[in-house]
Structure 1
Amino acid sequence: MTDEPLDTLVIGGGAAGLSGALTLARSRRSVLVLDAGEPRNAPADGVHAFLTRDGLPPAELVRLGRAEVESYGGHIRSGRAVAARRAGDLFAVDTAAGDTLHARRLLVATGLVDELPDLPGVRELWGHDVLHCPYCHGWEVRDRAVAVLGTGPNALHQVKLFSQLTDDLVYLRHQAPPLTAEEAEQLAALDVAVIDEEVTGLEIADGRLVGARLADGRVVARQALVVGPRFVARSAVLEDLGVQVLDHPIGGRYVATVDATGLTEAPGVWVAGNVSNLSAQVVAAAAEGTLAGARINADLVEEDIARAVARHRAGQDEGAA
């Protein structure tokens, strides 16, 4: 790389960031991916519902993606962005290592943090026997003894979705509101048992879930537990640039965009993946990165043409003089 400003700095090196970088590199743009190395799906055994990549370990997907970006001249750097600001026509991004990167455009794909229920055992089993998404990991717990923990407004939706995957399903109401008569009828029709007692923790043996421990001391034997994390976008750098971060109706925080390509209200700043779309699976995040990368390139093309026209006119004026 040279000391010249980058065409685009991509902050975040997961599926969204790498896909955006790949699109830009293939358009012969100078692009660098700054990756803090904290993938959200690191605890999972595999990526699922990603056509041709189903079951691939998350770290292997990143390795392959990095290699593809680099094969087209893109660059990857391990590091964390700690602050961002405008510097004339450019963006200046400070890193935890103490240096500053300059770029004409930013693509922020920093993802989100899963804030899990504060119960002993949940964090230890997260991504394996404790899960949240039926499309990401539901197949892996099909036909097992599964419980859904009532921690938020989306809990009953999870019950309905997981009822498609197993006939042995329990709803642990925990701290969720009492069921309405209609909801109770629906769960009865699905043959889903409802337990109103609060859950105090998980029973674990040999690294696997044994059951959910209730406040009265009973243990409900289960092989998998479905929880509802609070999804919180990693948005600090974007907030530095004045990008709006909103509360999500089902809990959590996400970054606002102004169009389908991921453009934010800060000109020149795009986002892709879970930082703005809390429910995006890996394949959807990758698609958003590709779309954002294409739009960033088109935006740069227009700017390059405007500069070329200005130079052309200046040359004509000098010739006339």
Structure 2
Amino acid sequence: MTTRDAEIVVLGGGSAGLSAALTLARARRRVVVIDSGEPRNAPAEGAHGLLGQEGVNPIALLRKGIEEVTLYGGEIIHGRVTEARPDGGGFRIVTDTGTDVSARAVLIATGTRDQLPDVPGLQERWGRDVIHCPYCHGWEIRDRRVGVLATGPMSALQALMFNQWTGDVQFFPQGLDYSDHDLAKLTAVGIRVETRTIVRVEAQDDRLTGVHLADGSTVTLDALVVPTATQARLDGLDGLGIAITESPAGTAIAVDPAGHTNVSGVWAAGNVANPATQVSEAAANGARVAMTMNTELVFLDADRAVAEMENTR
């Protein structure tokens, strides 16, 4: 077992985590990033809405981020967290790779998991032509035949968003109840409501071709929208006692606007705290929370130095 001593350990090497680590390393903090190498957007061909990096491959973006963090002295540990706990005024993070980290503060940027409905074929196409975000994928499916598979009470309104990018949208309630008012909005803008239930996603030559319905018929589609519930990725972090928020959209770490959790010395940034953030927002949030962490630690050190000086008089 090898132990690394750091000032700050960043859990998660996605856009938020690496952006935070870069900011902290440039602030001359001893920072260690622990990452399992499973980013949420790995299936996507490109990340969008990122100024100066439009359409960049998500994996290539993270590789570049790792290079930048290590350039300033940050350390990257590949592995999974199996245990995290307070330890001697700081924190101890245990990994499955034989390298543990002792740190003064923790930044959680582990991201979130999308909870897909149990419909055969969805997972295989996820992030490519089975999608969820109009701002992430709307341009790529413009003027195509698009279906929206309902998953919750907001799905009817989410279908309206995709009508901005294509005039050929079908909404599949999947047996869920929606108000006449919400359905009237769909009909008024030209969205067709299909009451038959999707039971399987069909693909050919590595592209989605349509959906198979419960009555045996098929609807031809080029893309399928699935608004997902999300779950904060907190594997191994139970020992920290982090407070969680729950909503119809899923679970997330509860934070204040500065990124503080309910545990002193533990912050959170990116999708783990707000699943709706895009890559650009997650990176910006990681940097901002890192600035807050560094600033508060500077002030805390100054207060401690004053107290020590007064004790020696």
The TM-score bracket by the shorter chain reads: over 0.9
Task: Encode CA deviations 1:185-207: one digit per residue, 9 max, x unaligned.
Answer: 21121111111011110111111
Secondary structure of residue in 2 paired with 1:280: coil
Report how far residue 297 of structure 1 moved. Answer: 0.5
| Letter in structure 1 aligned against 2:119 | L
Secondary structure of residue in 1 paired with 2:302: helix
Report how far residue 242 of structure 1 moved. Answer: 1.1
Task: Encode CA deviations 1:144-170: one digit per residue, 9 max, x unaligned.
Answer: 000101121221122110000001111
Q: Please give the root-mean-square deviation of Cα atoms over the aligned residues, in Å.
A: 1.5
Partner of 1:278: 275
> Could you tell me how far apart the structure 1 residues matched to 2:240 and 2:282 are?
22
Partner of 1:251: 249
* Contact preservation (8 Å) 2:232, 2:252: yes
Partner of 2:11: 11
1:299 aligns with 2:290: no
Matches within 5 A, 1:1-321: 5-177=5-177, 179-248=178-247, 250-257=248-255, 259-315=256-312, 317=313
Task: Answer with 63-72 or 101-110: which moved more.
Answer: 63-72
Secondary structure of residue in 2 paired with 1:103: strand
* Contact preservation (8 Å) 1:130, 1:224: yes
Which sections of structure 1, spanning at least 5 residues, go unmatched? none
> Could you tell me how far apart the structure 1 residues matched to 2:151 and 2:4 are?
50
| Letter in structure 2 aligned against 1:209 | L
Secondary structure of residue in 2 paired with 1:62: helix
Structure 1 runs (4+) deviating above 6 angstroms are none
- State the TM-score, normalizing by the size of structure 2: 0.96
> Could you tell me how far apart the structure 2 residues matched to 1:93 and 1:65 are?
23
Report how far residue 4 of structure 1 moved. Answer: 6.9
Report how far residue 238 of structure 1 moved. Answer: 4.0
- State the TM-score, normalizing by the size of structure 1: 0.93
* Contact preservation (8 Å) 1:235, 1:245: no
Task: Answer with 23-32 or 238-247: which moved more.
Answer: 238-247
| Letter in structure 1 aligned against 2:226 | V
Look at both structures and tell me which one has the larger radius of gyration over its CA atoms.
1
Secondary structure of residue in 2 paired with 1:86: strand
Which sections of structure 2, spanning at least 5 residues, go unmatched? none
> Could you tell me how far apart the structure 1 residues matched to 2:302 and 2:131 are?
49
Q: How many residues get paired?
A: 312
Identity %: 45
> Could you tell me how far apart the structure 2 residues matched to 1:4 and 1:123 are?
37
Report how far residue 239 of structure 1 moved. Answer: 3.1
